[in-house]
Amino acid sequence: MSVNRRLAVITGASSGIGEVYARRLAAMGLDLLITARREEKLRRLKMELEDECGISVKVVVADLSRNEDISKLVDIINNINNIYYLVNNAGYTILGNFHDVEIQRYREMMKVHMDAPTEFTHTVLPQMMKRDEGVIINVASVAGLTTKSRFSLYGSTKTYIVHFSKFIRKMLNETNIIVQALCPGFTYSGFHKTEEFLIHNADTYNTIPKFLWLRAEDVVDSSLKKLSRKRVVHVPSLRYRVILRLVNLGILKF
């Protein structure tokens, strides 16, 4: 990796929103550090982006539900001094009634959604503050913007990400560092194709109305376009901003 070129760290980069961030930031000329559990997909993405964009891509295979893998990535980040973008994107959901699910599975999801973004942000901030420049994007969800979500603990963890992002931005008020909590709705990506959905026979692509689905490319393009020091929370769709308003007024269920 070039020591002079800016670098972006992207978690959950093997598919969906994370993969699109990798493609967009590579096209902007940034080197990448991409991480996820699926090494084969990361390696394919690395080869493609290095060939097409002339940048360098470092692959780190990690399962962020494991403390040791979070620590491994923290150690790697600590030895890199040119990180300008941090995209905390890794995430998934757990289906079923809260009390029917083994608590260890929730502990693991909380590590991915809460512990990992908190630790990675804590790790990159000193160098960003020293330069007075950088971007931190935390991928949350519209489910994190309402107390009336039916998405069990998933929505609660995303609420944490939203409030954490607001806290960090307020702390950085006198700096030029940008913090965004991205809150998309249903998005075409690998999120809804995991084993969790197969086990529960949850065919969301065919049961959720098509007008509610967003393209990962549109979500990421909107995110990057709307990066701002003034506005932390970004919902990348007018239809979801309207839906959230109706949900919070009790007119619509979500």
Q: Per-residue confidence at 146, pLDDT binned at 50, 70, 90?
A: confident
Backbone angles phi, psi at 95, to 5 degrees: -95, 160
Contacts of 247 (CB under 8 A, 6+ apart): 146, 148, 253, 254
Q: How many CA atoms lie within 13 A of 75 on its CB side?
A: 8
Burial class of 85 by CB neighbour count within 10 A (0 to 12, 13 to 18, 19+): buried
Dihedral angle at the C-alpha atoms of 215, 221, 225, 227, nearest 10 degrees? 80
Q: Is the pLDDT of residue 198 over 50?
A: no
Q: Where are the domains of the chain?
A: 7-248
Q: Is the pLDDT of residue 45 over 90?
A: yes
Residue 150, pLDDT score: 60
Mean pLDDT in residue range 74-101: 93
Mean pLDDT in residue range 136-146: 93
Residue 5, pLDDT score: 86
Contacts of 160 (CB under 8 A, 6+ apart): 113, 114, 144
Burial class of 206 by CB neighbour count within 10 A (0 to 12, 13 to 18, 19+): exposed
Q: Per-residue confidence at 205, pLDDT binned at 50, 70, 90?
A: low
Q: Is the pLDDT of residue 201 over 70?
A: no
Contact between 60 and 14 (Cβ < 8 Å): no
Residue 244, pLDDT score: 87
Q: Is the pLDDT of residue 145 over 70?
A: yes
Q: Which CATH number fits domain 7-248: 3.40.50.720, 3.40.50.300, 3.40.50.20, 3.40.50.1820?
A: 3.40.50.720
Q: Which of 188, 191, 233 is nearest to 214 (CA)?
A: 188
> Which range in 53-62, 90-99, 141-150 is most confidently predicted, on average pLDDT?
53-62
Mean pLDDT in residue range 210-230: 93
Burial class of 209 by CB neighbour count within 10 A (0 to 12, 13 to 18, 19+): exposed
Residue 210, pLDDT score: 83
Q: Which of 70, 168, 51, 163 is nearest to 111 (CA)?
A: 70
Q: Is the pLDDT of residue 200 over 70?
A: no
What distances in angstroms separate CA 239 from CA 17, 130, 140, 145, 151, one per listed residue? 19, 39, 17, 15, 19
Residue 192, pLDDT score: 46
Give the pairing of strands 31-36 and 187-188. Answer: unpaired
Query: Tokens in use for 158?
Result: 């995303």
- Compute the mean pLDDT over every residue in the chain, rounded to the nearest whole number: 90
